[in-house]
């Protein structure tokens, strides 16, 4: 075994040691295979693994190439995992639905192919809710994913499997997606880092089961998850850029962040919808104390129209605004009649929402107005820091108990804004992690990552979690 503990190494540090022959891909692979064997059975985060002998062959090949100076890319020989939401060659994708589970994918999605080209070894794929349409990762094919910090609590969704695997140290990083908070909520619940890139930066080519996803295509973005902020910075750039197939993806260069001393930070202060817990509030106060001496300005102000944006995302995109007809027709076309409780509840709630043509036009105008007003806000403030969720991870079965709890993530899906989530503290009562969300103007990921990297040094950082039984809180 190497003298280096992979848990303490960023992806770049792993890659550097591999290039110098100080660490081997075989060693890394065996480390994560052992972790998976020990911990995944307790949390059900990874649902398919590549054949072990094939993984070992790839690792040996990566080491042989490294020995002769042939480095395939920045992830040469590093194992990672992928959310069950896009095609991964050799794996049977399902998006959490048995009705979609078929033959193994023959071709990688663009984002997956780019990670392979960078040298990554795909360990396996991670669990999702049915059709990725819940904030609780559970389906009738693979079951429920548990939060490694407290097995009675949710890992979140829809990237709950990816987040739980990384939190438990079963994977160093992975590829995920975010249409309504699906990277950000699980990152907060599990105490890891997540990046939702600007919508239009990463091709959605190769989404499963279809490249286009109807209305949700307008809020969908691929994202990355990892243990450290630098992992996000590396992976985000690797998957970005037009591919000539997704017409909505453009090539926008990543630009270096301004110095922290020049940044004007807007910071969430208080909200009645939803009210945040005392522990979340204290974490934000600590963030303010950390940033105050090093940035140009910290203002306690929030962007306009956040509540309206939250409501529109719910009405138009999640329920479909058609009394549930769209959802029923979709599931009937699959001959699907059994659902997890979260999806059954979504169908029931959708039946209560039906908009007239005039109301849909009103909401569509509101979307445009919100995006315009948010852009104006970011002319006055370089970034906005707020909660991800008003409290720690909820207990299983509470995905849609109160949609106002998603008021911090829904608006920035509607706007297509980039957002970073990092762990920033711990709830003193439950011991659960608390994250913060850093949001900025389109294409300014490097600015958000620079602030996140500074705060990562000042606040709590990721450390692997051995899955533990439920608390009494």
Angle between helices 229-239 and 445-458 (to 10 degrees): 160
Per the rule left: phi > 0, alpha: psi between -120 and 50, beta: everything else, 416 is left
24, 18 contact by CB (below 8 A): yes
CA–CA gap between residue 422 and residue 228 (Å, rounded): 8
Angle between helices 25-35 and 52-67 (to 10 degrees): 150
- What does the CA dihedral 35, 36, 37, 40 come to, rounded to 10 degrees? 120
Asked whether the predicted pLDDT for residue 1 surpasses 50, the reply is: no
- Sign of the alpha-carbon dihedral angle for 452, 226, 67, 71: negative
Return the pLDDT at 472: 55
Q: Strand 79-83 relative to strand 121-126: parallel, antiparallel, unpaired?
A: parallel
Alpha-carbon 182 to chain mean position: 5
CA–CA gap between residue 254 and residue 446 (Å, rounded): 7
307, 404 contact by CB (below 8 A): no
- Go through 60-96 and write b for each residue having 16 or more CB atoms within 10 A of its CB, e for each that does not: eebbebbeeeebbbbbbbbbbbbbbbbbbeebbbbbb
Q: Strand 193-196 relative to strand 419-426: parallel, antiparallel, unpaired?
A: antiparallel
Active-site residue, selected from the candidate residues 182, 220, 240, 277: 182
Asked whether the predicted pLDDT for residue 189 surpasses 60, the reply is: yes
Tokens of 224: 């990355």
What is residue 395's DSSP assignment? B
CA distances from 218 to 192, 313, 367, 417 (A): 26, 11, 11, 12
Residues 53-97 pLDDT 10s = 999 999 999 999 999 999 999 999 999 999 999 999 999 999 999
Residues 234-259 pLDDT 10s = 999 999 999 999 999 999 999 999 99
Tokens of 414: 């509607």
Identify whether 182 is a catalytic site residue. Answer: yes
Residues in the chain: 473
- Mean of the per-residue pLDDT values for the chain? 96
Identify whether 257 is a catalytic site residue. Answer: no
CA angle, 365 as apex, 131 and 135 as ends, to 5°?
25
Of 264, 273, 270, the closest CA to residue 282 belongs to: 270
Give the pTM: 0.97
Alpha-carbon 254 to chain mean position: 20
**Neighbour-count burial of 262, counting CB atoms closer than 10 A to its CB (0-12 exposed, 13-18 middle, 19+ buried):** exposed
Which helix (H) or strand (E) segment is 466 a member of? Answer: none
Asked whether the predicted pLDDT for residue 2 surpasses 70, the reply is: no
CA–CA gap between residue 454 and residue 16 (Å, rounded): 22
- Residue 433 has φ and ψ, to the nearest 5°, of -70, 155
Return the pLDDT at 256: 96
Active-site residue, selected from the candidate residues 25, 83, 154, 171: 83
Asked whether the predicted pLDDT for residue 155 surpasses 50, the reply is: yes
CA–CA gap between residue 297 and residue 269 (Å, rounded): 15
Identify whether 83 is a catalytic site residue. Answer: yes
Asked whether the predicted pLDDT for residue 470 surpasses 70, the reply is: no
What is residue 317's DSSP assignment? I
Residues 411-457 pLDDT 10s = 999 999 999 999 999 999 999 999 999 999 999 999 999 999 999 99
CA distances from 413 to 92, 196, 227 (A): 28, 9, 23
What is residue 354's DSSP assignment? B
Return the pLDDT at 473: 58
Active-site residue, selected from the candidate residues 94, 105, 126, 158: 158
Of 191, 96, 112, 154, the closest CA to residue 424 belongs to: 191
């Amino acid at each position: 075994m190497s003298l280096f503990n992979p848990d303490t190494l960023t992806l770049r540090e792993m890659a550097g040691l591999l290039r110098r022959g100080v660490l081997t891909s075989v060693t890394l692979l065996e480390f994560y295979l052992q972790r998976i064997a020990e911990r995944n059975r307790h949390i059900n985060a990874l649902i398919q693994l590549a054949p072990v002998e094939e993984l070992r062959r790839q690792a040996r090949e990566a080491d042989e190439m490294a020995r002769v100076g042939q480095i395939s890319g920045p992830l040469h020989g590093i194992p990672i995992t992928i959310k069950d939401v896009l095609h991964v060659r050799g794996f049977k994708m399902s998006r959490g639905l048995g009705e979609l589970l078929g033959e193994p994918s023959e071709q990688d999605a663009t984002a997956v192919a780019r990670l392979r080209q960078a040298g990554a070894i795909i360990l396996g794929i991670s669990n999702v809710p049915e059709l990725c349409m819940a904030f609780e990762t559970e389906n009738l094919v693979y079951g429920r994913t548990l939060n490694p910090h407290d097995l009675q609590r949710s890992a979140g969704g829809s990237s709950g499997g990816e987040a739980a695997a990384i939190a438990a140290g079963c994977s160093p990083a992975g590829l995920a997606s975010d249409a309504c908070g699906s990277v950000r909520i699980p990152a907060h619940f599990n105490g890891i880092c997540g990046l939702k890139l600007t919508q239009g930066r990463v091709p959605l080519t190769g989404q499963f089961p279809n490249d286009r996803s109807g209305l949700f295509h307008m809020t969908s973005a691929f994202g990355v998850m990892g243990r450290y902020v630098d992992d996000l910075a590396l992976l985000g750039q690797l998957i970005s850029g037009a591919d000539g197939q997704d017409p909505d993806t453009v090539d926008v260069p990543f630009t270096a962040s301004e110095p922290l001393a020049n940044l004007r930070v807007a910071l969430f202060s208080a909200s009645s919808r939803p009210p945040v817990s005392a522990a979340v509030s204290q974490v934000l106060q600590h963030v303010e104390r950390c940033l105050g001496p090093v940035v140009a300005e910290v203002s306690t102000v929030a962007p306009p129209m956040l509540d309206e944006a939250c409501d529109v995302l719910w009405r138009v995109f999640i329920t479909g605004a058609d009394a549930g007809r769209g959802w029923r027709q979709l599931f009937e076309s699959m001959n699907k009649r059994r659902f997890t409780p979260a999806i059954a509840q979504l169908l029931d709630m959708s039946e209560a929402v039906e908009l007239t043509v005039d109301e849909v036009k009103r909401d569509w105008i509101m979307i445009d107005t919100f995006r315009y007003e948010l852009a104006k806000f970011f002319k006055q403030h370089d970034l906005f820091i707020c909660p991800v969720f008003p409290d720690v991870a909820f207990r299983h079965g509470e995905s849609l108990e109160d949609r106002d709890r998603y008021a911090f993530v829904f608006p920035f899906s509607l706007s297509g804004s980039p957002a970073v989530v990092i762990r920033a503290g711990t709830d003193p009562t439950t011991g659960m992690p608390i994250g913060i969300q850093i949001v900025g103007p389109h294409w300014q990921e490097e600015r958000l990552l620079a602030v996140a990297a500074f705060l990562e040094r000042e606040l709590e950082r990721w450390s692997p979690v051995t899955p533990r039984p439920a608390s009494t809180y």
